[in-house]
């Protein structure tokens, strides 16, 4: 059982497909509301000032877990759930962003 995470254009759709093809049950297979902690693009970083306005409006939250157990509790998933994170190159994400951008850079 797993949850998949990542910023837009980091490969989350590919990651999801790969996990499913490997037979891994993915708890956040369907995306809930964008500010829900189970959304694949949830912003987990403690410093939310790095979020650009459109992202802050859509994905804004006050989540900043310091441990995996805390993340599990916030997401309301069983303790020990695997959290698989897609990461991509910053340059590729910026090149793929539409005009005005919809990505946020910063430390998770």
Q: What is the DSSP letter of 11?
A: S
pTM: 0.71
Output the pLDDT for position 103: 42
Length of the chain in terms of residues written: 108
Output the pLDDT for position 93: 54
Phi, psi of 72 (to 5 degrees): -60, -45
Distance, CA of 5 to CA of 1 (rounded, Å):
14
Distance, CA of 91 to CA of 79 (rounded, Å):
35
**pLDDT tens string for the chain (108 positions)?**
999 888 877 788 888 999 999 999 999 999 888 889 999 988 888 888 888 888 888 888 889 899 999 999 999 999 999 999 888 665 565 555 554 444 444 333
């Amino acid at each position: 059982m797993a949850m998949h995470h990542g910023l837009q254009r980091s490969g989350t759709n590919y990651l999801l497909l790969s996990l499913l093809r490997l037979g891994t049950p993915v708890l956040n297979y369907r995306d809930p509301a964008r500010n829900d902690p189970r959304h694949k693009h949830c912003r987990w970083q403690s410093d939310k000032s790095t979020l650009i306005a459109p992202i802050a409006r859509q994905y804004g939250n006050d989540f900043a877990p310091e441990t995996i157990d805390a993340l599990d509790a916030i997401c309301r998933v069983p303790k020990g759930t695997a959290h698989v994170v897609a990461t991509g190159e910053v340059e590729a994400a910026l090149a793929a962003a539409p005009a005005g951008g919809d990505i946020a850079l910063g430390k998770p």
